[in-house]
């Protein structure tokens, strides 16, 4: 196996090359490395290749590694180094081919299996990745590195309960002290619905390091069990660490909203828009909050901006339609919905009302009829449709709907009286 314990002169030459490259004297540093890479001593060539790789001269490093592999085809250190390099070059297939050459009895076999599992997962071959790790565990049972890798695999593919089992087994293993397993376990526990236990693991993980994704996961988990203040504190910390983490703002606004602090929720959304002006969800949320704050004109503008970013956002379109319908701006409702294909009965109802109010009665009749099955127990719809039918000459059908509407809303005395008058008029 090729080592890198070199003589004093060569070590000084390597350090000189490193210093030159590190200080920006690239040409001089590369000249020295090129000389070292041509040395007859294979250990020097290996060290030179490693330095090439560290400073991003990948092709030079690859050429040296491949030359050395021809002499030492079974050297697993070389194979690992070359595989890592190929992964950096997005040449995963080549890396897989090399890693599969490492024998089961080799000291680097377990590391190779972990790398292979990662590569197969990148290729979308989750079952193959799992098989590799389970096979390695049969050879080396209770190996913490393999159990951790398997837990991470399960976590990434959404098998939360399996991930929890693996990560629980190794979370306090001293061999993995450099890993923040508490945060990984917290994520798995949250995904499996164990929210209280998840928060505890997050808090243990934060003693070691507060990561951006960890803080976000903590906040989302806290919201699930209505611990809004905990969520707010975590997200404000996250915002201070990285204001550009734009997904935090909708969640932060939601937390403030649950606490009844609508103005703070709105402030959070505005801060988010400053960071990400192309995030449609921020504009949609801003519109919803503006409407709740009775700032309807502002709400309309936010929903319009959202639709400009994504005309297919039907939630924003529906909110905007509701506002226009409240203002009886039926032309705007038709403009928003007339050319949009949707299977949403609520939008059909809005559009039917708009066509009815603008005397496009055939279109209104068609849409009312389409919506009837969805709102057959909705007295408001039945009353509106019943009145429309009677106004367009369908007296009996209209009366039947009005009678049903009255029966469904006995508190509506005006409707009951209206139905009785119709019955009396038609009985005469």
What is the three-state SS of 353-422?
HHHHHCCCHHHHHHHHHHHCCCCCCCHHHHHHHHHHHHHCCCHHHHHHHHHHHHHHCCCCHHHHHHHHHH
Q: Which residues contact 241 (CB under 8 A, 6 or more apart)?
A: 210, 212, 215
Listed residue (318, 294, 322) closest to 306, CA to CA: 318
pLDDT in tens, 7-57: 556 667 777 878 877 888 888 778 877 877 776 677 888 888 888 888 888
> pTM score, two decimals?
0.74
Asked if 358 and 342 touch (Cβ cutoff 8 Å), the reply is: no
Determine the pLDDT at residue 2.
45
What is the phi/psi pair of residue 359, to 5°?
65, 25
CA pair distance 249, 398, nearest whole angstrom: 49
CA pair distance 424, 428, nearest whole angstrom: 6
What residue spans define the domains of the chain? 376-427
CA pair distance 17, 20, nearest whole angstrom: 5
Determine the pLDDT at residue 215.
97
Tabulate helix, strand, coil % of the chain (nearest 5).
75, 0, 25
pLDDT tens, residue order, the chain (428 aa): 444 444 556 667 777 878 877 888 888 778 877 877 776 677 888 888 888 888 888 888 888 888 888 888 888 888 888 888 888 888 888 888 888 888 878 788 888 888 888 888 888 888 988 888 888 888 888 889 899 999 999 999 999 999 999 999 999 889 888 889 999 999 999 999 999 999 999 999 999 999 999 999 999 999 999 999 999 999 999 999 999 999 999 999 999 999 999 999 999 999 999 999 999 999 999 999 999 999 999 999 999 999 999 999 999 999 999 999 999 999 999 999 988 888 889 999 999 999 999 999 999 999 999 999 999 999 999 999 999 999 999 999 999 999 999 999 999 999 999 999 998 877 76
**Strands in 99-146 per DSSP E:** none
Determine the pLDDT at residue 9.
62
CA pair distance 309, 295, nearest whole angstrom: 22
Residue 410 CB: number of other CB atoms within 10 A?
10
Determine the pLDDT at residue 40.
64
Determine the pLDDT at residue 8.
58
Determine the pLDDT at residue 382.
96
pLDDT in tens, 265-277: 999 999 999 999 9
């Amino acid at each position: 196996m090729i080592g890198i314990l070199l003589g004093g002169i060569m070590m000084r030459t390597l350090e000189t090359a490193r210093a030159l490259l590190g200080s920006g004297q690239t040409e001089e540093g590369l000249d020295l490395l090129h000389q070292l890479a041509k040395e007859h001593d294979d250990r020097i060539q290996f060290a030179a290749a490693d330095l090439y790789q560290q400073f991003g001269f990948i092709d030079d490093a690859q050429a040296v590694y491949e030359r050395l592999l021809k002499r030492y085809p079974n050297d697993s250190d070389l194979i690992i180094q070359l595989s890592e390099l190929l992964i950096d070059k997005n040449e995963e297939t080549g890396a897989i081919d090399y890693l599969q050459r490492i024998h089961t009895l080799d000291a680097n076999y377990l590391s190779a299996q972990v790398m292979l599992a990662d590569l197969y997962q990148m290729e979308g071959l989750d079952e193959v990745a799992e098989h590799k790790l389970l096979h390695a565990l049969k050879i080396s049972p209770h190996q913490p590195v393999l159990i951790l890798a398997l837990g991470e695999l399960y976590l990434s593919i959404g098998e939360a309960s399996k991930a929890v089992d693996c990560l629980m087994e190794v979370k306090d293993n001293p061999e993995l002290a450099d890993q923040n397993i508490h945060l990984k376990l917290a994520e798995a526990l949250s995904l499996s619905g164990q929210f209280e236990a998840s928060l505890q693991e997050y808090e243990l993980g934060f003693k070691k390091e507060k990561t951006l994704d960890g803080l976000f996961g903590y906040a989302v988990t806290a919201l699930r069990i209505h611990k809004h203040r905990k969520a707010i504190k975590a997200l404000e910390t996250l915002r201070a660490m990285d204001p550009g983490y734009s997904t935090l703002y909708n969640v932060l606004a939601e937390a403030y909203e649950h606490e009844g602090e609508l103005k703070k929720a709105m402030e959070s959304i505005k801060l988010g828009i400053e960071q990400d002006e192309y995030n449609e969800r921020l504009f949609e949320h801003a519109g919803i909050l503006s409407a709740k704050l009775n700032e309807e004109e502002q709400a309309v503008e936010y929903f319009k901006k959202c639709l400009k970013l994504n005309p297919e956002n039907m939630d924003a379109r529906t909110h905007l339609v509701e506002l226009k319908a409240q203002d009886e701006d039926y032309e705007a409702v038709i403009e928003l919905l007339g050319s949009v294909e949707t299977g949403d009965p609520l939008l059909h109802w809005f559009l039917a009302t708009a066509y009815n109010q603008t005397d496009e009665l055939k279109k209104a009749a068609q849409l009312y009829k389409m919506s009837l099955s969805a709102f057959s127990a909705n007295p408001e719809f039945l009353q509106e449709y019943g009145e429309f039918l009677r106004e367009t000459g369908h007296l009996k059908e209209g009366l039947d709907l009005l009678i049903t509407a009255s029966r469904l809303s006995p508190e509506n005395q005006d409707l009951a009286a209206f139905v009785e008058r119709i019955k009396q008029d038609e009985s005469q």
